[in-house]
Amino acid sequence: MGTASNWRADFPILGRPIDGRPLIYLDSAATSQKPEVVIQTMSDYYREANANVRRGVYALAAESDRRFEHARASIARLVDASTDGLVVTKNVTEAINLVAYAWGLRNLSDGDEILITIMEHHSNIVPWQLVAELTGATVKFCPMTAGHELDMDAMAEMIGPRTKVVSVVHVSNALGTINPVAEIGRMAHAAGALMVVDGSQSVPHMPVSFTELGCDVLAFTGHKMLGPTGIGILVARPELLDSMAPFMGGGEMINDVTTEGSTYATGPRKFEAGTPPIAETIGLGAAAEYLMAIGMDAVRAHELELTRYALDAMADIPGLMVYGPSDPERRGCPISFAMDTVHAHDVAQFLDAQGVCVRAGHHCAKPLMRTLGVAATARASTHVYSTTDEIDALVAALHGSAAYFA
């Protein structure tokens, strides 16, 4: 499906100048831009087929149902999963909370251990801490090596008979580190533990197969994978969903309701109370189809080329520290960095004055920042629409920043 320059032409916002400068958007790890097909697909739904799903018997409702279920099938196909295990949520944070509460509250008890890693996003830390407080379980953090990769020796030692959950980010949003989640999953399952994978930074950027990962749960979010905000996805083994109690109660998640009590729907619908994000699901389906048309191998190859190019170019910037593995093959597209004696927010503001958009802060990974010994980093991140010219602009602006703050 074309080349990077052709892909870029599919994203209307990238033609917008900011303060008279071309938009150089390098904050895709925070949220991606949207191709025209996603915008148009959502607009078409509202113009042509807007009706509630799973309820009406009239023709318009049937058309809304068809578009909604087609989108769910496309999303499932992207990650090699079955729609029987695909739950629509509002984001990955809700997806992980769903597992923590619907499974964790009923399966964890005093003395049990929840193993996560020091590089987790807060959305894969706080839910487990909350559930641990309610159940008496303990949250443990697997450390990382000096090269900013998971310490797999420590991981092997920490997984034991008390481990009930292992929940690991696939690609770190702050380091770019690609974690060996399939290997970790085998270790977790050997101990009888549930394996949860946060795929927020992997599903949008590389081939991800729920089947091949061998995990019990995979969570990802729409707005980072060229889709709309307000939708996340939880993919789980169908039998796991069947064993879990509902997360929220209300309409559509029931089998029957009487004055004496309620019985619940089976499968994903048990966890989709109320009207789902219909337009957002349809938009995410279009995003999944767009990515599959490009090919996730091609997406990964393009972004790997950009990452290699950026790491090489940034190596010569005075006073710049780049975090994460030095081998581009062992990392995703986020590149976090800090400049000697200059706060990350000041660097980001200087770059913004040059028209370059990067993120600065703790990236919702405060335990990791403390481990790195920094309050914050700046982060550049790419997607299919990013180019080497934009990396050149970033590097030139960073050289200018180094000179300005010297």
Question: How far is Cα 13 from Cα 15, in angstroms, rounded to an integer?
Answer: 5
What pTM, to 2 d.p., does this model score? 0.96
CB of 166 closer than 8 Å to CB of 142: no
pLDDT given at position 406? 76
Rounded to 10 deg, the angle between the 36-48 and 278-294 helix axes is 140
pLDDT in tens, 7-56: 999 999 999 998 889 999 999 999 999 999 999 999 999 999 999 999 89
How many CB atoms neighbour CB 186 within 10 A?
A: 12
* Average pLDDT rounded to a whole number, residues 168-174: 98
Q: Is the pLDDT of residue 2 over 90?
A: no
pLDDT in tens, 348-390: 999 999 999 999 999 999 999 999 999 999 999 999 999 999 9
pLDDT given at position 4? 65
How many CB atoms neighbour CB 63 within 10 A?
A: 16
Question: How far is Cα 94 from Cα 104, in angstroms, rounded to an integer?
Answer: 14
pLDDT in tens, 64-121: 999 999 999 999 999 999 999 999 999 999 999 999 999 999 999 999 999 999 999 9
pLDDT in tens, 115-168: 999 999 999 999 999 999 999 999 999 999 999 999 999 999 999 999 999 999
Q: Please give the full DSSP string across 282-307, using - where no structure is assigned.
A: HHHHHHHHHHHHH-HHHHHHHHHHHH
pLDDT in tens, 196-237: 999 999 999 999 999 999 999 999 999 999 999 999 999 999
pLDDT in tens, 251-302: 999 999 999 999 999 999 999 999 999 999 999 999 999 999 999 999 999 9
Q: Where are the beta strands (DSSP E) in 118-222?
A: 138-142, 163-169, 194-198, 217-221
Degrees, nearest 5: CA angle 20-358-318: 100
pLDDT band at 341 (very low <50, low <70, confident <90, very high): confident
Alpha helices in 267-404 (DSSP H): 278-294, 296-314, 344-353, 366-372, 388-404
pLDDT given at position 1? 42
The tokens for 352 are 């913004």
Find tokens 């200087």 and name the residue: 350
Question: Which residues carry out catalysis?
Answer: 364
Which three-class secondary structure state does DSSP give residue 343?
coil
